[in-house]
Structure 1
Amino acid sequence: MTHFTLLAQDAADAPNVGNPILNIGIFVAFIVITMAIVMRAGKTTSEASDFYTGGAQFSGKQNGLAIAGDYLSAASFLGIVGAVALNGYDGFLYSIGFFVAWLVALLLVAEPLRNTGKFTMADVLSFRLKQKPVRLAAAFGTLGVSLFYLIAQMAGAGSLVSVLLDIHDRTTQSIIVAVVGAVMIAYVLLGGMKGTTYVQMIKAVLLIAGVGGMTIAIMIGVKGNFSELLQQAVNMHDGNHAVLDPGLKYGKTSTTKLDFVSLALALVLGTAGLPHVLMRFYTVPTAKEARRSVTWAIALIGSFYLMTFVLGYGAAALVGPEAIKAAPGGANAAAPLLALEIGGPIVMALISAVAFATVLAVVAGLAITASASVAHDIYHSIIRDGQSTEEEQVRVSRITVVVIGIISIVLGILAMGQNVAFLVALAFAIAASANLPTILYSLYWKKFNTTGALASMYTGLITALVLIIFSPAVSGFEKSMFPNVDFHWFPLNNPGLISIPLAFIAGFVGTMVGKPDNFDDLQAEMEVRSLTGVGVEAPVDH
């Protein structure tokens, strides 16, 4: 009998949450250290470019680490491990989708976006189109994606701390989410993009090291025999071999199969439309460094997602699906409970602290992106007609951070019972619907005009939001945001299958029926910039 088997048999006798005092102590220490880093970096944040992009001073390697830190969110760690532990092969589809999506970002978007823009995604989308209406639509898209992403992180934080303190009471969990939101707001207000980037780099190293250590411990436990690990997972699933095959979650009915296609579309196409990831390309000085940063990010992110496969089946084998479902936070509790089984209370506290830092860093990056969009695209470009000072923009950004933080806290409390990987998939669906079609059309289609851009962005955003509101994710089921009411009529959990094609079609039809913008010189300039990077610093005004 292997050491691993003995651990699995003893799992039921293990303490639920380790040592709560130790957990909180490490948490507080981690927050104090990272807050000190943020405050030190924040002292050099004086201009709008410092607040939004860190002054474009980071190398490709540093930015690659930060991108990995931004991308490897609570969904990646807590959600995917839980999804694999409960649904086996079908849960690993999240890992595959999140990773493959980087190829789209690298090949189609990263370099031309860096060459064309300055601060936000709307800089690119409005470059050769009519500024004000396109910036407004892009800002709405950015806010929609950021808000859903924030909801997932808040829900993940609530689940994580609830597991550590063994809190089953929903009111206390809600207070925890509110505290996380307050700390996030402080991070952004004090440090801006520069401070957030440093925290993300540190967090990426710690997260990948922690996950790597857990993976090695699991493989040592089974003496390198991965088949033994899978067999233990099957045993804990009452001998159900379906946990090893496709279809346990998404293969039961025609509706679930369509839901899988919808999820796959959203995951693969969503990354290239995520505003907080796209904004990272502006924190490097050149397009070459933007390319390097994506290469670094892919290496780090790819290795991480391969390890989530081992962790997921390790959680199924060591902790068991029933124990995971019964824990506060449900599926989101799988990773910290696995850490407890592998290394006891200290390892659980360390891994959970890293996961908590993951939430804080990602949330801070999202808040900066949303605040930059409001301040730069709506306030500066539309309300003040380009006449506001940088001090005004930064002040509006800070106010926006507070408002968005409060909204995300409220919605995060409502979504606490849902798997955070699933919640992030909704944000990916909005990004792929509202942003990606317009980005691709703007970069690669000469005839594309303002009418097409507005049709694409508003169709994608509104369709995705409406279908989410009337989906099982919001009402009608035990895990829904509003489980006691039922107003859902859209059968799929993810809207991507409908909203993404509609957005592409709307962009094409809008361009065909709309009047040309006659910005041929700007279109030519954008093409030269996107391909060569020449003239990146020159302002565009029309």
Structure 2
Amino acid sequence: MKKWMGLLLSALPLLAAGSADVSGKREINISAIVMFLLFVALTLAITYWAAKRTRTAKDFYTAGGGITGFQNGLAMAGDYMSAASFLGISGLVYLKGYDGLIYSIGFLVGWPIVLFLIAEKLRNLGKYTFADVVSFRLKPGPTRTLAALGSIATVLLYLIAQMVGSGKLIQVLFGLDYAFAVMIVGVLMILYVTFGGMLATTWVQIIKAVLLLAGASFMALAVMVHFGFSLESLFAKAVQTHPDGIKIMQPGGLVSDPISAISLGMALMFGLAGLPHILMRFFTVADAKEARKSVFWATGFIGYFYMLTFIIGFGAIVFVMKNPQYLDATGKIFGGNNMAAIHLAHAVGGNFFLGFISAVAFATILAVVSGLTLAGASAISHDLYASVFKKGQVDEITEMKVSKIATLLIGVLAILLGIAFEKQNIAFMVGLAFAIAASANFPVLFLSMYWKGLTTKGAF
């Protein structure tokens, strides 16, 4: 277990969009600021629209169950494709080459598990959270408490990592002070969730997914056009440019043996199937059929996205690695390896496209933290307050008030912890979140759906 945890914690630096090597500030890009303000204005308008349509607990938790499979698939992709995935994986490919693809696959292969084992049963048995499913056949009080605490622990650790990463990322992209950047993210996510609930969160995630896929597609297309759509030419030039030469086309730089690779893959796969903010999205669709469609579309969008990050990473090797415009006095890339995609955006699209990608990175952060906050608030209000403390004897208005108070508390706590943990290793925080999701949330959820012999004591 200790070895597994060590592997997991060391294997997730790609999720740390603001890790220790992302330091310093970038000159303020006017295009980025303008696009960022436009995005914030658009999402606040969506929140205002959603607030008028969020009247019941079902509206708040699940957007009334009226999201289509395609829309939910986009929103799931938006919830999962974090700035860490975009910047971290492309940065890992930039640094290590082929091994970056191993991590891309690791984060993708969990989706078929969700499709075939989780989606349909979760939608049929649950109501608002995955704790509804876990407590279906077991003693509701203890099992709901267990599931809720697992959800809250996962959400808080993941949220802290995202807040710290967002502060560092915005500090680099926009030249803002770290604490101020964290507060901006925290205030906006509180507004989205408190007033707009799942409906606003869903549409923020959909818009973010479309923008991120469009931006990544343009970058990859620009790289491929330069090489006449020949991957062979791209790889050959990358090998010629990278100091490790042909080694970047070979596996083994990050995962040294098959057992480590299998352990990493299991952690990533089962961690995904235990993330509460992903599982919660299955309740936003009308039925199990739409839930399956959601995963189908999400898998397609996410798979396409990770293919793009592979091309973007190799493109950054060619266009950024030896370009003095993007290197400091020591020859290292400005902002660290995680900024490779940002610099590539400038190399292929100039200041305007750099501004667009910077704004998209910020939008990505907001979409992910909003989903996390809503999942945490739901665990507190629905699982603990309404179902455990009040034994189900609570009206919807009171439950929604508790959820909004929980959202505010989680948001404030996330801001404070984000500032306090500025120097903390983000990969460690994300590793803990995935470890809890894979070892606590997923097993009890899976067994409660497929093993009739599971008891309440066994769940603990």
Partner SS, residue 58 of structure 1: coil
In 2, Cα distance between equivalents of 1:421 and 1:63 = 28
In 1, Cα distance between equivalents of 2:341 and 2:411 = 26
Question: Is residue 64 from structure 1 mapped to residue 69 from structure 2 by the alignment?
Answer: no
Question: Is residue 207 from structure 1 mapped to residue 208 from structure 2 by the alignment?
Answer: no
Which has the greater radius of gyration? 1
Which amino acid in the other structure matches residue 70 of structure 2?
K
Change (3 A) 1:441 1:364: same
In 1, Cα distance between equivalents of 2:424 and 2:90 = 14
Which amino acid in the other structure matches residue 49 of structure 1?
K
Shift of 1:259: 5.4
8 A Cα contact 1:181 1:405, kept in partner: yes
Question: Is residue 74 from structure 1 mapped to residue 74 from structure 2 by the alignment?
Answer: no
Question: Is residue 119 from structure 1 mapped to residue 128 from structure 2 by the alignment?
Answer: yes
In 1, Cα distance between equivalents of 2:377 and 2:47 = 18
Q: Match for residue 458 of structure 2?
A: 452
Match of 1:155 among 164, 182, 187: 164
Q: Match for residue 60 of structure 2?
A: 51
Q: Match for residue 288 of structure 1?
A: 289
Shift of 1:233: 2.9
Change (3 A) 1:327 1:133: farther
In 1, Cα distance between equivalents of 2:52 and 2:241 = 52
The answer to which structure, 1 or 2, has the higher relative contact order (CA under 8 A, 6+ apart) is 2
Q: Match for residue 458 of structure 1?
A: none
Change (3 A) 1:74 1:192: same
Shift of 1:420: 6.3
Shift of 1:63: 1.0
Partner SS, residue 43 of structure 1: helix
In 2, Cα distance between equivalents of 1:408 and 1:266 = 25
Shift of 1:413: 4.1
Shift of 1:204: 1.2
Map residues 368-407 of structure 1 onto 2, 5 A cutoff: 368-407=374-413
Shift of 1:249: 2.5
Match of 1:218 among 216, 223, 229: 223
Partner SS, residue 67 of structure 2: coil
Q: Deviations over 1:493-524 (max 9, x none)?
A: xxxxxxxxxxxxxxxxxxxxxxxxxxxxxxxx
Match of 1:332 among 294, 318, 338: 338
Partner SS, residue 243 of structure 2: coil
Question: Is residue 353 from structure 1 mapped to residue 355 from structure 2 by the alignment?
Answer: no
Shift of 1:32: 0.8
Question: Is residue 246 from structure 1 mapped to residue 247 from structure 2 by the alignment?
Answer: no
Q: Match for residue 93 of structure 2?
A: 84
TM-score normalized by the length of structure 2: 0.88
Q: Deviations over 1:393-444 (max 9, x none)?
A: 1111112222222333344346657886775454222211111111111111
In 2, Cα distance between equivalents of 1:84 and 1:292 = 31
8 A Cα contact 1:79 1:419, kept in partner: no
Q: Match for residue 231 of structure 1?
A: 236
8 A Cα contact 2:27 2:175, kept in partner: no
In 2, Cα distance between equivalents of 1:95 and 1:240 = 22
In 1, Cα distance between equivalents of 2:425 and 2:294 = 30
Q: Match for residue 314 of structure 2?
A: 313
Q: Match for residue 20 of structure 2?
A: none
8 A Cα contact 2:220 2:311, kept in partner: yes
Q: Match for residue 21 of structure 2?
A: none
Shift of 1:78: 1.7
Change (3 A) 1:239 1:436: closer
8 A Cα contact 1:267 1:425, kept in partner: no
RMSD: 2.3
Change (3 A) 1:239 1:20: same
Between the two proteins, the alignment pairs up a number of residues equal to 431
Shift of 1:75: 2.1
Unaligned 5+ segments in structure 2 are: 1-24
Shift of 1:239: 4.4
Q: Match for residue 534 of structure 1?
A: none
Partner SS, residue 341 of structure 2: helix
In 2, Cα distance between equivalents of 1:433 and 1:307 = 31
Which amino acid in the other structure matches residue 240 of structure 1?
G
8 A Cα contact 1:153 1:363, kept in partner: yes
In 1, Cα distance between equivalents of 2:211 and 2:96 = 27
Quick check: 299-308 or 146-155, which moved more? 146-155
Q: Match for residue 431 of structure 1?
A: 437
Quick check: 271-280 or 152-161, which moved more? 152-161
Q: Deviations over 1:322-341 (max 9, x none)?
A: 94995665333222121111
Percent of aligned pairs with the same amino acid: 49
Which amino acid in the other structure matches residue 282 of structure 1?
F
Change (3 A) 1:423 1:304: farther
Change (3 A) 1:281 1:121: same
8 A Cα contact 1:18 1:348, kept in partner: no
8 A Cα contact 1:156 1:332, kept in partner: no
8 A Cα contact 1:114 1:287, kept in partner: yes
Partner SS, residue 273 of structure 2: helix
Shift of 1:134: 0.5
Shift of 1:117: 0.5
In 1, Cα distance between equivalents of 2:442 and 2:29 = 44
Shift of 1:192: 0.4
Q: Deviations over 1:294-338 (max 9, x none)?
A: 111111111111111101111222222994995665333222121
